[in-house]
Amino acid sequence: MYKNFSYGEITPKGWLARQLRIQADGLAGNLDKMWPDVRDSAWIGGDKEGWERVPYWLDGFVPLAFLLRDEEMIARAKRYLNAIMDGQKPDGWICPCPDEKRGDYDVWALFLICKVLAEYGVYAGDERALECAARALQNLRERMLAGTTKLRQWGKFRWFEALIPLGIIKDRFGGEWEDGLAALLKEQGADYADYTGEWKTPVFHWRIFTHIVNLSMMLKTEAEYGRFSGEKYADEAQRLYDILYKYNGSAVGLINGDECLAGVSPVAGTELCAVVELMYSCERLFALTGDAKWADLLERVAFNALPAATTEDMWAHQYDQQANQIGCVHLPGKSPWMTNGSESNMFGLEPEFGCCTANFGQGWPKLAHNVFLRSEKGIVAALPLACALKTEINGVPVGVEIAGDYPFGGRMTYTVSAKRPVGFELAIRVPAGAKAKLCGKPVRGSFIKLEREWNGKTELTLELSFAPRLSPRPKKMYFAEYGPLVLCLPIKAEWKTCEFVRDGVERKLPYADYELAPGSDWAFGFASDELKMSFGKVGETPFSESAPPVMAEAWLAPVEWGFLRGYTTVADRWPKHRKALGKAKKFTLIPYGCTMLRMTELPKIIKNEK
């Protein structure tokens, strides 16, 4: 349906550019300098992890480096990419493992490095990377046909991820083997539709088919596979998401899993890998189907769940985040999460496990890369985010520049420029639920399609506004929202910095771990449906707790609420009562993504509840 532009055609602007710079200066921008599993990885000839971690890191670092036009970062990315390509064996095998161990190597990491190489090849213009990915996938096909590689474990449950590089290779080289490999992968890969019965009741067991990252990734399967099979798209993604969401959904659009499906409670967690993988699934689904609802879900996850899981400087992240998160400490004793351990909602270098450390960096760069897409008729402005596109249509240099602070502000300008007269369609996506005006005139629908001859500069103004509201959650709970932004009560945090060494991996500033204990009251209910919005400036740190760009005034009253299984830093799943224990007072709610500790889901106060 739609294709991505190259990195060189896209220039992030405004708060989005600042966020990318913060990431570049933080953990994801520096892992190759200080984290053994990337710095000394077997992928580049070292003796540390030689599976998913370097491919994960490159998956975010490469687009980040190119979108920022940061030559030093590009050189560092190329050092890794070139070392990996140099290590490719004559038969096409590319993963760092001894030849005799190839049959045991879980090829999930192969899918991932092929995706990294193919995307880098096509969006950064490196032909060698495309050829390497093609040869590695041809080698996979030969091994699968010979039975020397069989899909198992992660490879079996993430088989569809190989379809992404395979689709790029098919588009570029147009061979016939790609369809055959896609069919082989499908045949040996897991079909998640077989497991929907297991998604309805969370169980305290680790299962690969209720694993939250797998489930966030697999939504794109039908859309990706259709590129090879030609089968008509039936929106299996929506059917599966609906089941997952009904039994495990969160206020910010996530599927809860810590780390397997965890139910609908506001203290159930979601792993950060699942946040960025759900975003990527939404980006792919929007590009492949053109259905605006995936861009709406993408915004909801990107503007809330992604920034909430990192510190403002992006040097520390969480493994699991919760909607009602009153503390993030190393819990004494057994964890109350499903199967994750007692430090999994702390902020740090690699709380719980290092997958998210390597993987979370894909979130912001890929969001920026997907602001504009190419359609058959011209250009789709998929996300109303500050960003500039410079490309060519029918040989004519054209550009679109979006300016403004959405989702923190509603007035966006789209400046279209064309060197000479050229006809094309600019489709501007309008977020769901927005009251929209284009150049002062009300517009309806998910897309404003402007098919015309463009010449010189044309400035269009898009005004977006939303009605703030309290929306329902299970168990008669409510949360505040304004368009894609979820607003919540920030809880003051008492910070403790933890510097230590474990298993040879050092935590020290700026990449220390942090414990956050609750330092203000959190047990409240909504005493009124009224939310009074105010809008401020978006600062150097867009998602700032001390200077949030959007606020809502709400009336809250204290209620009786307990702790989960006696942990004084974990709120109970739901309040004991909905009766006010005291007078309602005015509080300021701020964007979920600006908070470290927060209460998102609250009951409405009921008078005289027994």
Q: Give residues in contact with Zn ion (CB under 5 A).
A: 271, 273, 355-356
- Residue closer to Zn ion (CB basis): 144 or 273: 273
Question: C-alpha distances in angstroms, 285 versus 192, 297, 385?
Answer: 17, 11, 19
DSSP-derived letter for residue 304 is I
Cβ atoms within 10 Å of 165's Cβ, excluding its own? 27
* Partner residues linked to 523 by β-bridges: none
The CB-of-553 to Zn ion minimum distance in angstroms stands at 36
Task: Quickly list DSSP for 429-484.
Answer: E--TT-EEEETTEEE-SSEEEEEEEEEEEEEEEEEEE---EEEEETTTEEEEEETT
The CB-of-272 to Zn ion minimum distance in angstroms stands at 6
Q: Tokens 């990431």 appear where?
A: 23
CB 405 within 8 A of CB 485: no
CB 413 within 8 A of CB 460: yes
Closest residue to Zn ion in the complex (CB): 273
- Residue closer to Zn ion (CB basis): 111 or 478: 111
The CB-of-358 to Zn ion minimum distance in angstroms stands at 8
The CB-of-137 to Zn ion minimum distance in angstroms stands at 25
The CB-of-507 to Zn ion minimum distance in angstroms stands at 18
* Cis omega (within 30 of 0) for bond into 259: yes
The CB-of-325 to Zn ion minimum distance in angstroms stands at 18
Q: Tokens 């929506």 appear where?
A: 238
The CB-of-53 to Zn ion minimum distance in angstroms stands at 11
- Sign of the dihedral defined by the CA atoms of residues 492, 497, 498, 504, in that order: positive
- Residue closer to Zn ion (CB basis): 401 or 513: 513
The CB-of-158 to Zn ion minimum distance in angstroms stands at 13
- Residue closer to Zn ion (CB basis): 37 or 271: 271
Gyration radius from the chain CA atoms: 24
- CB contact set of 441 (below 8 Å; sequence gap of 6+): none
Could you tell me the maximum CA-CA distance found in the chain, to the nearest angstrom? 77
- Residue closer to Zn ion (CB basis): 271 or 401: 271
Q: Tokens 């569809």 appear where?
A: 160
- Residue closer to Zn ion (CB basis): 217 or 273: 273
482 closest CA partner among 548, 553, 533: 533
Question: C-alpha distances in angstroms, 89 versus 34, 57, 302?
Answer: 29, 23, 39
The CB-of-223 to Zn ion minimum distance in angstroms stands at 23
- Residue closer to Zn ion (CB basis): 106 or 481: 106
DSSP-derived letter for residue 360 is G
Question: C-alpha distances in angstroms, 171 versus 20, 57, 372?
Answer: 30, 25, 20
The CB-of-276 to Zn ion minimum distance in angstroms stands at 9
CA 342 to chain CA centroid, nearest Å = 24
The C-alpha atoms of residue 605 and residue 556 are separated, in whole angstroms, by 9
- CB contact set of 300 (below 8 Å; sequence gap of 6+): 252, 253, 484, 486
Strand spans (E) along 198-263: none
Which amino acid would we find at residue 135? R
- Residue closer to Zn ion (CB basis): 353 or 447: 353
- Residue closer to Zn ion (CB basis): 282 or 355: 355
The helix (H) or strand (E) run that includes residue 502 is: strand 500-502
* Partner residues linked to 470 by β-bridges: 480
CB 408 within 8 A of CB 402: no
The CB-of-311 to Zn ion minimum distance in angstroms stands at 17
CB 220 within 8 A of CB 288: yes
- Residue closer to Zn ion (CB basis): 31 or 485: 31
The CB-of-537 to Zn ion minimum distance in angstroms stands at 34
The CB-of-274 to Zn ion minimum distance in angstroms stands at 7
Which amino acid would we find at residue 102? R
- Residue closer to Zn ion (CB basis): 10 or 305: 305
- Residue closer to Zn ion (CB basis): 115 or 135: 115
- Residue closer to Zn ion (CB basis): 4 or 335: 335
